[in-house]
Amino acid sequence: MDTRSGDKSEGAVGNSGGGRVRTAALAGVRALVLAVVAPVGSITLFVLSVVSLVLVSVGIGIVTTPWVLAAVRGFANWRRLVAAQWSGVRIPPAYRPVPKGANPWRRCFHLLGDPATWRDLMWLPVDFTAGFVTALLPAALLTYPFEGFALGAGLWQVFTDGTRVGWWYGFVPVSGQLSALGAAALGAALLVTGVYTAPLLLRVHFLLTRSVLASGQGELAERVRVLTETRRDAVDTSAAELRRIERDLHDGAQARLVAMGMDLGTVEALIEKDPAKAKQLLAQARKSSAEALTELRDLVRGIHPPVLAERGLGDAVRALALRMPISTEADVDLPGRPEAPVESAAYFAVSEVLTNAVKHSGADRIWVDVHHTPEHGGMLRIAVTDNGHGGASIGAGSGLSGVERRLGTFDGVLAVSSPAGGPTMVTMEIPCELS
């Protein structure tokens, strides 16, 4: 009798069971993180928001409210990011762009006039009440059973001498070894339930979040609005890029080429009358041509770096890290290449975030992590972390708003975690497949 097929079946079952346990354990750890972080962050931000809004009437809140609301948005965007990463629940942001150069008064009331701001504020109390419960439940189903196992193993003797009920485990009164074994049996039932339901319950937590944070408009209408905004941003960015290229050509390479042409005309007139002077002008023209070539190469690199076109995003990010004036480590794991537009957007987003870190963070080390996961249709995930003094936020003049708009063209998400004192982590996620 051939037992190989039976062995394979048993191995597959074992692997499936082991994978289910690992998935459930990971979901439990993530749920526990949410159960700890969610109420602390939500309660703190809710109290700060209420106080700041009350202070608007006396003028102080006009200055503080934009900063508080920026922190609320950052917290909500972090939740959007982990919802997509951990459970595949996408919660698209629907914030109205803040006008550039707006004074504190206009900025404050623009934010207060944005429906997405009020959805964020309504979400905070939901998050530290129902959100806390839905996050705690999968973690409890996977940890509470071990108390039942401990009681069944003899811990019940600490609470009773067997003549009275000394402890309740769930609905089981523990008064002796037999009832302690009943508690262990209940713990086993809860653990099995947790293994099968923890990922689903974690997804319920994020679906609750989406029900409050997502726009009340229809999905199609919201999609049209987002596409309209991202198209406008893309057109504006393209126009600004064309103006920059024209300015750089006019002020740089074009001016040098004109000067070189004039030098060559003078050489033509002096080559017989004053050969020494003509030789000097030829050397100057050669130098101008080399400088013009360097400027043209820099300009081309700014439009689409050759290393990006030739070797892909991974090597382009590594080359970018090597050019940074502070120590930068790049960890890249990409088994293929994204589409060219996504690749370009990701590269320039990383470049902008690194430039911000060098200019503003005060860090002496930066870490860049780039990897792709095939789950949920494929996600390109990039994290840039520095050990600086923190305080970075979207919309605070740091350039991160531009990065967010650039990624938004591809349905990408940007999240910033930057507490005072650091460290700062900027996480970017772009849906895409690799070739």
At 265-289, the pLDDT tens digits run 777 777 777 777 777 777 777 777 7
Q: Flag whether pLDDT at 219 surpasses 60.
A: no
Look at residue 13 in the predicted model and tell me its pLDDT: 40
> CB–CB of 199/19 below 8 Å?
no
Look at residue 47 in the predicted model and tell me its pLDDT: 94
The overall average pLDDT reported for the chain is: 80
> CB–CB of 292/256 below 8 Å?
yes
Look at residue 155 in the predicted model and tell me its pLDDT: 81
Q: Flag whether pLDDT at 32 surpasses 60.
A: yes
Banded pLDDT at 115 (limits 50, 70, 90)? confident
- Compute how many other C-beta atoms are within 10 angstroms of the C-beta atom of residue 144: 16
| 65 closest CA partner among 79, 76, 53 | 53
Banded pLDDT at 23 (limits 50, 70, 90)? confident
Alpha helices by DSSP H, listed for 214-339, are 219-248, 254-270, 275-303, 306-323
| 434 closest CA partner among 326, 346, 321 | 346
Say if strands 327-333 and 365-373 run parallel, antiparallel, or are unpaired.
parallel
Say what the alpha-carbon torsion angle 290, 292, 297, 300 is, to the nearest 10 degrees: -170
Look at residue 14 in the predicted model and tell me its pLDDT: 43
Each residue's pLDDT tens digit, 66-88: 889 989 988 998 898 888 888 88
Look at residue 203 in the predicted model and tell me its pLDDT: 92
Each residue's pLDDT tens digit, 146-203: 888 888 888 878 877 767 787 888 888 888 888 888 888 998 998 899 899 999 999 9
Cα separations in angstroms, 110 against 62, 77, 115, 279, 401: 11, 19, 10, 65, 16
Amino acid letter, residue 76: A
Coil vs helix vs strand at 427: strand
Burial class (CB in 10 A: 0-12, 13-18, 19+), 123: buried
Look at residue 413 in the predicted model and tell me its pLDDT: 81
What are the structure tokens assigned to 136, written together? 């705690």
DSSP string for residues in 147-165: HHHHHHTTGGGGT--SSS-
What is the rounded distance in angstroms from the CA atom of residue 407 to the CA atom of residue 399? 13
Banded pLDDT at 258 (limits 50, 70, 90)? confident
Look at residue 422 in the predicted model and tell me its pLDDT: 77
Burial class (CB in 10 A: 0-12, 13-18, 19+), 380: buried
Give yes or no for a cis peptide into 341 (omega within 30° of 0): no
Q: Flag whether pLDDT at 408 surpasses 70.
A: yes
